[in-house]
Amino acid sequence: MIILGIETSCDETAASVIKTSGGKIKILSNIISSQIPIHRRYGGIIPEIAARAHIENILPVIQKSLEILKNQKIDLIAVTQGPGLVTSLLVGIETAKTFSYAKKIPLMGINHLKGHIAANWLSPISAISKSEFLISKQIQIKFPALCLIVSGGHTELILMSGQTKYKKIGQTRDDAAGECFDKIAKLLNIGYPGGPAIAAEAAKLKTTNHKLQVSLPRPMFNSPDSDFSFSGLKTAVFYLVQKNKNILTNSKTKNEFIQAVCAEAQQSIIDVLIKKTIQAAEKFKVKSIILCGGVASNNELRKQFEEKIKNLTTKINFYVPERKLCTDNAVMIAMAAYFQYKNMGTKQIKKLQKNFQKIKVNPNLEI
């Protein structure tokens, strides 16, 4: 089975082709056109600009992803339906619907968050050639499993009883962790996207003899529920920056202050994410913890999560995709479609033939 995946939920225009056969999965192409250089000048994503860039990039990206197919037939098109920016989603949806109608290929709308989760079944990837990869065997994740989706727009805890069986048990009440990273980076004027910028500055602190001591809150750290909140952390950094304007104007202390704030802010977010996830994992007696989403590419988060889980008295397996599959891509959308397709009946599969008429953008789509 050959699946074309299309992803345009935010600021990445992506298309991918995967081939499934006998339990093996080949990633034939994985094309991504990033808009980071465009939005960096604004310190964040401008939806209208993002949509225009998608319009310019969508056809060349899809065309490039299909080059390796030659005369092979596409069996299914999978496109991100939501959640995301409505104008960005529209570009991907309308392109996929047109392609589906013109080529008479079945179309499936995919939840972007389910795509992030599906990426966990794709590790590790071993290269065959420059343009083709092979997953020799799908990872077997034991259920029940608890998944932490942590990205620029979402921080959610999902309890899974099966590969396509989800139940949301917690989420952020305000800012997502990735959004908090972006806003703190903007307050410190260290660049965009915020997560990598903060991680880079925090890493510098470990190599210097710093004297500055910075303390920031861990929002909802001790609450018994599975919800998160990061707006208070962002506000705390805002007041800290306002209070220390004299330090930021002094070239000798500016860098050290920024590094100290970044290290503490990053650790605050990591502490909360790990504490709340393990708390929920123990409550629901899960066998596996899954980490995914753009923020899951953070080195410290991955390392500290793994160390914490290893030291638990109860054995829990830990899974996280390789970094290039954590950020938005179309491979994960194609994989989510494959899992969904496997669980569909004959009648449901037949309905996919006319699905292009029914699929609509849903920027607030939930699991």
pLDDT by position in tens, the chain (length 367): 999 999 999 999 999 999 998 778 889 999 999 999 999 988 899 999 999 999 999 999 999 999 999 889 999 999 999 999 999 999 999 999 999 999 999 999 999 999 999 999 985 655 445 555 666 456 789 999 999 999 999 999 999 999 999 999 999 999 999 999 999 999 999 999 999 999 999 999 865 555 668 899 999 999 999 999 999 999 999 999 999 988 888 877 899 999 999 999 999 999 999 999 999 999 999 999 999 999 999 999 999 999 999 999 999 999 999 998 999 999 999 999 999 999 888 888 888 877 777 899 999 999 9
Amino acid of residue 300: E
What are 25's two structure tokens?
Answer: 């999965």
Give pLDDT, residue 252: 76
Cα dist. 352→75, 341, 348 in Å?
11, 10, 7
**Who contacts 136 (Cβ-Cβ below 8 Å, separation ≥6)?**
24, 126
Walk me through the domains of the chain, giving residue ranges and CATH numbers.
2-123+324-357 (3.30.420.40), 145-320 (3.30.420.40)
Quote the CA–CA distance of 156 and 86 in Å, as a whole number: 21
- Measured from the Cβ of residue 196, the count of other Cβ atoms closer than 10 Å reads 17
**Whether the Cβ atoms of residue 219 and residue 229 lie closer than 8 Å to each other:** yes
Residues β-bridged to residue 39:
none
pTM score of the predicted model: 0.93
Cα dist. 361→52, 112, 133 in Å?
17, 12, 31
Quote the CA–CA distance of 260 and 203 in Å, as a whole number: 10
Residue holding tokens 């989403």?
A: 293
Q: In sequence order, what E strands does 182-254 have? A: none
Quote the CA–CA distance of 301 and 171 in Å, as a whole number: 18
Give pLDDT, residue 128: 47
Residues β-bridged to residue 108:
78
Amino acid of residue 299: N
Question: Is the alpha carbon torsion for 119, 121, 126, 130 positive or negative?
Answer: negative
**Who contacts 303 (Cβ-Cβ below 8 Å, separation ≥6)?**
none
